[in-house]
């Protein structure tokens, strides 16, 4: 009785106040004004200093001075209507965001610069179908190409993968499935080996294969050097992925009485498959771009050499390196074109890695989930059909 | 009742928990263990072979290998004092440029970036870590070296009284003075290496920052901290190990970088402290430069230089991994 009359009153009060939708955004107009004002003031003062008052010059100096002034002025503006911690918060936000921006922009610029400089060589189709044996340094871009380097890169990386993938996977499985003091030691060694300078890997293969065993410089030696470099990278990435496989899956498998290797082969590796593929592709992307191990072990040739076992063989990074050492503008253009092709290859590998991997161990794509649902539905139908056909038999036996 | 107690006594004896794994499992273990052994063998072979090949040069040079600045192995005067200092200097410049960028980038990605942008940024940074070093070298050689000249000149003119920024042969009063004294310097090489190192350091730091415990973050906010206050009191202390580790990891990469440095520097074989002055050196670039024309003894000397580089990066990396392992960072991931 007491509540009933009050209710409409409360609702009325609320309506009279007007239930305005509150804005949840943290950004206020004054923040934007302070930011823009500080930016404008900093730019004008710097321009005044550089163009009118002081003997300064250079873009970098301009930017540094403008940025310093901007920070000071922004702090000043914010401090008019905020307290100390808030001012520090705003300044830190600006600094962090601009540092992040500088990093991403600088890195993106390096890539775009190379692609842009490669624009002169890339439209020529012969760039992909010919080799450089008959093209001299003064020939225009319509003669000669990098087919030999593409072939060399593909062969070398294929051999390196054939060596590193099995051994890397076995080692990663060893680190996780046969734990113990030895495994911990090997893990430490692998971590130390990821820091192996690439030129030392090249030097090692040079010392063993070429000096000690007496082989010539060849594609095989180069792929051995690449393998030494890629192996720890692949093992480390694969180790992390295998560690992510849920322990309950393994326990379930052991509880069913499965042996250890069957558990690894049928449970652990399939669960981690996408991540393992990613680790291999990441190792490949690093290996494809390495110049210095190849520099020492592959030699250099302008001819197409499809045989990795004998004779010098050139790869894309090495070709880039040799092209840009020449003073001729056409050769430099070829160098940038080769670098652009190399980067496109790395990008392709990376996209493949993102498409295949990028998910945790055991997480399925839409299509895989769909397939699994269909499979279990088929199983259910099969069981139902069998149950139906077995019922008469059971009843008969009971009779 | 007596029979009962005697029964439990018999059962309380510790049972042997050894289970025979069977032949397939024993084979599996053997194969796995040999996979681990293979990696160990490769590592030992790298160190062993370098030492074996370097022994000839090392025994000839003795301790003077560490103190000589020249590199004339066939004349008997060679040592890594100059190249080692050059390597460390380039790496320090690289780390000094890369670490603020990496910390800023990592904090931005883990704390400030809108969630939709975050995944893209992570992929971009990871991709950048895979960009071949020769691409960074090209950028440094054909773009950056020319653009940095006015700035290098400005620093040398106004801050030249600091020994580090002094440039021999530069004449600030002459506006037409040749600018070639500023090209191919330690600074240019260092910045190029910094761009290679930054993505790697950034992804290590981001990983650690994003693992900072949510409960402590919320606690800081609940006590009235601003976002920066929360970062300073929770994220940065938690991520300290990762920050040091990422820096050291970057330092290790920077020490061993070859092609980017080789393309940019003009090699000198004396200790050169002036970072703005043309002429720098690094062990990796020395090997790439001289391996082609080296005699047998010269090759041995180069192997010795490679061994020194190898040991140096090993020490740096071991320090990095032990710092990361000991810190609180990443404790949640185990």
The verdict on a CB contact (< 8 Å) between B226 and A85 is yes
How many other C-beta atoms lie within 10 A of the C-beta of residue A245? 21
Closest CA of chain A from B4, distance in Å = 32
Q: Are the Cβ atoms of A189 and B138 closer than 8 angstroms?
A: no
- State the Cα–Cα distance between residues B263 and A335, nearest whole angstrom: 13
Backbone torsions φ then ψ of A110, nearest 5 degrees: -55, -45
Which residues are within 8 A (CB) of B166 and not within 5 positions of it... i.e. 6 or more apart?
B156, B160, B274, B276, B277
Q: How many beta-carbon pairs below 8 A join chains A and B?
A: 288
Q: Which of A62, A106, A107, A235 to probe the B interface (max B CBs under 10 A)?
A: A107
CA-nearest of A201, B198, A68 to A60 is A68
> Which residue from A186, A260, A285 is facing B130, i.e. has the nearest CB?
A285
The pTM score is 0.80
Which residues on A lie below 8 Å from B199 (Cβ)?
107
Nearest residue in chain A measured CA to CA from B122: A104
A333, A124 contact by CB (below 8 A) = no
- Separation CA B79–CA B44 (nearest Å): 25
Residue B140 near residue B260, CB atoms below 8 Å: yes
Reported ipTM: the value is 0.81
Cβ atoms of residues B243 and B208 within 8 Å: yes
Helix extents (H) in B69-178: 81-107, 115-129, 133-139, 145-147, 149-159
Question: Residues with Cβ < 8 Å from B152, sequence gap 6 or more?
Answer: B182, B185, B187, B276
Question: Which residues does chain B have within 8 Å of residue A196's beta carbon, measured at their own beta carbons?
Answer: 46, 256, 310, 313
Q: CB neighbours of B35 closer than 8 A, spacing ≥ 6?
A: A167, A170, A171, A173, A174
Q: What is the pLDDT of residue A392?
A: 61
- Across the interface, whether the CB atoms of B256 and A61 are under 8 A apart is answered no
Among candidates B29, B49, B130 on the partner chain, residue whose Cβ is nearest the Cβ of A286: B130
Per-residue pLDDT band at B331 (split at 50, 70, 90): very low
Task: Answer yes or no: are the C-beta atoms of B107 and B231 closer than 8 Å.
Answer: yes
Contact call for A295 and B317, based on CB within 8 A: no
The one-digit pLDDT tens for each residue of chain A (399 residues) are 444 444 555 555 555 567 787 777 777 777 788 888 888 888 888 888 877 777 666 677 778 888 888 888 888 888 888 788 888 888 888 899 888 888 888 888 888 888 888 888 787 777 777 777 777 766 777 777 788 888 888 888 999 999 999 999 999 988 888 878 888 888 888 888 887 888 888 888 888 888 878 788 888 888 999 999 889 888 988 888 888 888 888 889 888 888 888 888 888 888 888 778 878 888 888 888 888 888 888 877 777 777 777 778 888 888 888 888 888 888 888 888 888 888 888 888 888 877 776 565 556 678 878 888 999 999 999 999 988 887 665 555 544
Alpha-carbon distances of B270 from B263, B281, B291, rounded to whole Å: 19, 9, 20
Torsion of CA B69, B72, B74, B75, to 10 degrees: -70
- Smallest CA–CA distance, residue A396 to chain B, in Å, is 44
Identify the residue among B135, B142, B289, B314 best suited for mutation to test binding to A, counting A beta carbons within 10 A and taking the highest. Answer: B135
CB contacts, 8 Å: B249 with chain A: 195
Token pair, residue A192, equals 């130390």
| Helix, strand, coil percent values for chain B (each to nearest 5) | 75, 0, 25
CA distance A34 to chain B (A): 19
Strands (E) located in chain B:
71-72, 77-78
């Amino acid at each position: 009785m007491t509540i009933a009359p009050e209710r409409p009153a409360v609702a009325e009060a609320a309506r009279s106040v007007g239930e305005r939708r509150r804005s949840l955004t943290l950004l206020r107009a004054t923040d934007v004004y302070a930011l823009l004002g500080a930016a404008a003031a900093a730019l004008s003062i710097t321009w005044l200093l550089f163009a009118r008052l002081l003997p300064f010059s250079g873009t970098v100096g301009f930017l540094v001075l403008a940025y310093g002034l901007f920070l000071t002025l922004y702090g000043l503006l914010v401090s008019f209507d905020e307290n100390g911690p808030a001012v520090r918060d705003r300044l830190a936000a600006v600094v962090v965001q601009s540092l992040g921006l500088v990093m991403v922009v600088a890195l993106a610029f390096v890539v775009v610069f190379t692609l842009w400089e490669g624009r002169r060589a890339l439209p020529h189709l012969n760039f992909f179908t010919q080799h450089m044996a008959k093209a001299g340094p003064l020939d225009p871009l319509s003669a000669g190409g990098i087919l030999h380097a593409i072939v060399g890169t593909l062969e070398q990386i294929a051999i390196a993968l054939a060596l590193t993938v099995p051994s890397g996977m076995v080692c990663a499985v060893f680190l996780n499935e046969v734990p113990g003091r030895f495994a911990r030691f090997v893990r430490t060694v692998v971590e130390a080996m990821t820091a192996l300078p690439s030129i030392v890997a090249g030097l090692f293969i040079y010392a063993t294969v070429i000096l000690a065993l007496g082989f010539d410089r060849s594609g095989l030696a180069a792929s051995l050097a690449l393998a030494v470099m890629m192996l720890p990278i692949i093992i480390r990435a694969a180790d992390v992925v295998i560690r992510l496989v849920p322990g309950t899956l393994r326990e379930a498998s052991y509880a069913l009485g499965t042996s250890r290797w069957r558990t690894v082969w049928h449970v652990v590796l399939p669960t981690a498959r996408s991540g393992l593929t990613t680790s291999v592709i990441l190792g490949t992307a690093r290996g494809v771009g390495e110049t210095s191990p190849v520099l020492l072990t592959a030699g250099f040739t302008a001819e197409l050499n499809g045989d990795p076992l004998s004779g010098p063989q050139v790869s894309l990074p090495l070709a880039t390196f040799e092209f840009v050492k020449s003073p001729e503008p056409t050769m430099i253009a070829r160098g940038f074109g080769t670098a652009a092709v190399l980067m496109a290859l790395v990008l392709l590998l990376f996209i493949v890695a993102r498409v295949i991997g990028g998910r945790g161990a055991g997480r399925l794509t839409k299509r895989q989930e769909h397939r699994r649902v269909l499979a279990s539905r088929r199983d259910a139908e099969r069981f139902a059909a069998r149950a139906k056909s077995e019922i008469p038999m059971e009843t008969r036996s009971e009779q | 009742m007596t029979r009962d107690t005697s029964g439990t006594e018999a059962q309380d004896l510790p049972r042997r928990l050894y289970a025979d794994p069977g032949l397939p499992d024993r084979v599996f273990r053997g194969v796995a263990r040999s996979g681990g052994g293979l990696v160990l063998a490769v590592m030992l072979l790298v160190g062993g072979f370098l030492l074996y090949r370097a022994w000839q040069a090392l025994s000839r040079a003795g301790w003077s290998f560490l103190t000589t600045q020249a590199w004339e192995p066939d004349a008997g005067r060679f040592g890594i004092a100059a190249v080692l200092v050059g390597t460390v200097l380039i790496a320090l410049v690289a780390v000094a440029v890369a670490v603020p960028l990496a910390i800023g980038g990592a904090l931005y990605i883990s704390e400030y970036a809108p969630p939709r942008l975050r995944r893209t940024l992570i992929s971009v940074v990871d991709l950048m870590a895979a960009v071949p070093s020769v691409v960074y070298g090209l950028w440094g050689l054909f773009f950056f070296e020319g653009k940095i000249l006015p700035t290098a000149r400005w620093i040398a003119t106004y801050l030249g009284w600091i020994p580090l920024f002094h440039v021999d042969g530069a004449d600030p009063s002459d506006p037409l003075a040749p600018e070639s004294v500023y090209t191919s310097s330690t600074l240019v090489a260092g910045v190029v290496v910094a761009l290679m190192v930054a993505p790697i350091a950034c992804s290590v730091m981001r990983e650690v920052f994003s693992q900072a415990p949510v409960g402590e973050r919320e606690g800081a906010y609940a006590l009235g901290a601003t976002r920066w206050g929360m970062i300073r009191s929770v994220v940065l202390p938690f991520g300290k190990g990762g920050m040091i580790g990422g820096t050291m990891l970057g330092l290790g990469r920077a020490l061993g970088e070859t092609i980017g440095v080789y393309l940019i520097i003009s090699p000198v074989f004396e200790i050169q402290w002036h970072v703005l002055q043309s002429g720098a050196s690094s062990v990796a670039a020395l090997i790439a430069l001289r391996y082609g024309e080296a005699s047998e003894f010269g090759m041995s000397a180069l192997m010795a230089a490679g061994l020194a580089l190898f040991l140096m990066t090993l020490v740096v990396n071991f320090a990095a991994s032990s710092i990361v392992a000991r810190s609180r960072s990443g404790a949640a991931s185990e």
